[in-house]
Amino acid sequence: MSEEEMKTKIRDLLVEGKIKFFVGYEKGTNPFLARPVMISDENLEKVDDLEFSVLCSNNLTLYIIEDRKKILPRGVERDERPIGLVVKGCDSRAINVLLQENMIKREDVFLVGLPCEGVVDPNKARDVWYKRSDRLNPEDLEINEKGMFVNGEKIADFDEIEADRCRVCLHRNPVAHDELVWDEVEEPKLETREKRYEKIREYESLSPEKKWDFWKKELSKCIRCYSCKNICPLCYCEECSLAKDQLQAVSPEEKSRRVLWVGREVDLLDNLSYHLNRAMHLAGRCIDCGECERSCPVNIPLRLLYNEVEKNIYETFQYEAGINPDEEPVLTTFGSEEARNEECFL
């Protein structure tokens, strides 16, 4: 299918009312990022502006859960039609995790797969642009899979502005999709898995003191804005035990019984427990879409934390999150040999 055919298909689905709305990407005012756009039958013209490019950084699966959480006025029934959305390789794995965890059913979503050879990290691109261009207005800036161009002149290679996660990505083609925007791309070579854990190995080789110093430095930057949690498509709990920010309509009795496991104070200990707890909650689930690290306003290298957990899970269980929707989530099940293992945690 071509891009144009895909747009026609999406328009048809919306006109026929087969999907509730469609979430894709459009060109926004931030030149380093194509932003999410919701298209329903009210703004059908936006279908023409849908963008499928290297700027499609956001993980849109978040919006399925967001839509679920919406509180409707009394008397209004929930629209149960499926939601259409664009998924890259990493995003489609998030869909699989949601399926495994019974958060959604496959028929709740219509997936437009976007085979992807890497997206731009808006933070990197912005820094490069500020460094190499003396302009204030990025109007004549163009970013594509070849690199970054100002007035047609190349100022950066794509490698320089590519998101870190994409450089070690193992699943470029969506593992779940209904349609593909274009043909599947070549999957990365096997050595990428080795490369994937290079940074982790480097980190692991540090002495405990050095590791502690590293995290002390990084985590004391945290301002506890919770954007890492709020942008995560798999942090879907209606209420987070690590932050009371999402408390929704509850009775006073219920409200008084709420327990917060981690203090909200911004100090190293609380910051550390928040981030470590979150990493544990994402063990065997994190699909490394990198949204937390991208959105972090103080640039904490959060992916290092989650990749470490991912590596441990892979080495212990040979399990990768979000590959097979029919598989049991790895940490909610016991293998027969594990049950007999006396060293078993429980």
Partner 1 sequence: MFSVDKKKLDDLLRAWAKDELYVPCKVGDITSFEVYGTHEIDLDFKNSRVPIKRIMFPESETLYRYESFPEGYKIEPEELDNQKRIIFGARPCDCAGIERIDKKFYQDPADPYYDARRKNTIIVGLACNKPPFFSCFCTSVGLSPHSTVGMDALFTDLGDKYLAESITDKGKEILKGLDEAPEDEIRKAKELHEKADRLLERFEIDNSAMDFDARIWEKEAQRCIGCGICTFLCPSCSCFTIENIGSTRKGKMVRIWETCQFPAYSIEASGHNPRPNRKERVRQRFFDKYRYSFDKFGEFDCVGCGRCVDLCPVNIDVREIMVSVKEAGR
Give me the residues that bind partner 1 (CB under 8 A), please.
Answer: 28-31, 33, 35-38, 43, 58, 62, 66, 70-71, 126-127, 130, 136-138, 218, 221, 223-227, 230-231, 244-252, 254-255, 260, 263-267, 291, 294-295, 297-299
Question: Which residue lies nearer to partner 1 by CB, 11 or 224?
Answer: 224
* Nearest distance, CB of residue 157 and partner 1, angstroms: 19
Shortest distance, position 178 Cβ to partner 1, whole Å: 22
Q: Which is nearer to partner 1, 249 or 339 (CB)?
A: 249
Q: How far is the CB of 38 from partner 1 (least distance, A)?
A: 4
Helices 268-281, 302-317: axis angle to 10 degrees equals 40
Q: Which is nearer to partner 1, 52 or 314 (CB)?
A: 52
60 vs 104 by CB, closer to partner 1: 60
DSSP class of residue 73?
P
Chain center to CA of 1:
26
The least distance separating partner 1 from the CB of residue 184, rounded to whole angstroms, comes to: 28
Asked if residue 284 lies in contact with residue 329, where contact means CB atoms within 8 angstroms, the answer is yes
Q: How far is the CB of 101 from partner 1 (least distance, A)?
A: 20
**Tokens 């991208």 — which residue?**
294
Find the shortest distance in angstroms from Cβ 342 to partner 1. 37
Place of tokens 């995003």: 91
Residue keyed to tokens 């976007």: 114
CA distances for 176 relative to 85, 106, 133, angstroms: 12, 10, 40
DSSP 101-160: TTSS-GGGEEEEE---S--B-HHHHHHHHHHH---S-GGGEEEETTEEEETTEEEEEHHH
In the complex, minimum distance from the CB of residue 282 to partner 1, in angstroms, rounded to a whole number: 17
Task: Please report how close the Cβ of residue 62 comes to partner 1 at its closest, in angstroms.
Answer: 6
Q: What are phi and psi of 198, to 5 degrees?
A: -55, -50
Measured distance CA(257)–CA(253) in Å, rounded: 7
- Give yes or no for a contact between 247 and 237, defined as CB atoms under 8 angstroms apart: no
What residues contact 24, with CB distance under 8 A and at least 6 apart?
Answer: 10, 36, 37, 39, 50, 51, 60, 85, 86, 112
> Measured from the CB atom, is 59 or 92 closer to partner 1?
59
Residue type at position 303: R
Task: Name which of 216 and 264 has its Cβ closer to partner 1.
Answer: 264
Q: Which is nearer to partner 1, 30 or 192 (CB)?
A: 30
Q: Name which of 31 and 188 has its Cβ closer to partner 1.
A: 31
* One-letter amino acid for residue 319 of the chain: Y
The type of residue at 334 is F
